[in-house]
A and B are shown apart, each in its own frame.
Chain A
């Protein structure tokens, strides 16, 4: 089973609606990273969360880290076509340089 579970696997959302993607770890999180990938392109770093309860925002995207649940959520408010793509979470569960990865969430925005 995946050490880092991402849900949902895919999401189709009407433009203008809000949405949430979750990332849950079976191990203690030392750091949690969110990336976005458009088809045929590289992974763009969005945000890093380090401490329990930490919340960061960038434009209309907010990410939170729940230390008790070992879970992070990525919330997009008033979705736009530019938000479409694949969102991946990665995590430090050790201090050995290696990240573990979620399988990704494919987000489609319907106009």
Chain B
């Protein structure tokens, strides 16, 4: 069982560069989300999706884009990387709107110089 798969595991970008963080799940979950985790800030929701073709903003969406063309994939795009986007990024999915756990990927550690 693959669960939630994130790539890459590590990435270094220069300010102004763009990139896409990949996320795929094989559990047929409707809900997928992206979080960033920073020391002292906990987990903060960037964007989420409740099904293919449906996306919405979370708590900290600025500087990020998402799309959901299939149930399985939910890529996160950094449009023009900034040092403030240095963080650990997690993709997560769940099967129901409540009373079901979030399943997390292993994370992507991003450094922007």
A33 within 8 A of B: yes
Binary interface encoding of chain B residues 100-112 relative to chain A, with 1 for a CB under 8 A from any of its CBs, else 0? 1111111101000
CB contact between A95 and one of B97, B103, B104 (< 8 Å): that residue: B97
What is the total number of residues of chain B having a CB less than 8 Å from a CB of chain A?
23
Closest to A104 in B: B42
Closest to A90 in B: B102
Which DSSP category, helix, strand, loop or mixed, fits chain B's interface?
strand
**Are A48 and B107 in touch, CB under 8 angstroms?**
no
Known interface pairs A98-B45, A98-B48, A101-B42; A42-B107 also in contact (CB < 8 Å): yes
What is the total number of residues of chain A having a CB less than 8 Å from a CB of chain B?
25
A29 to chain B, nearest CB (A): 10
Q: Which residues of B contact A (CB under 8 A)?
A: 31, 33, 40, 42-43, 45, 48, 50, 90, 92, 94, 97-107, 109
Apart from A30-B99, A98-B48, what are 18 other A-B pairs with CB-CB below 8 Å? A30-B98, A35-B104, A40-B107, A41-B106, A42-B90, A42-B105, A43-B92, A45-B102, A50-B99, A90-B102, A92-B98, A94-B98, A95-B98, A97-B31, A97-B48, A97-B94, A97-B97, A101-B42
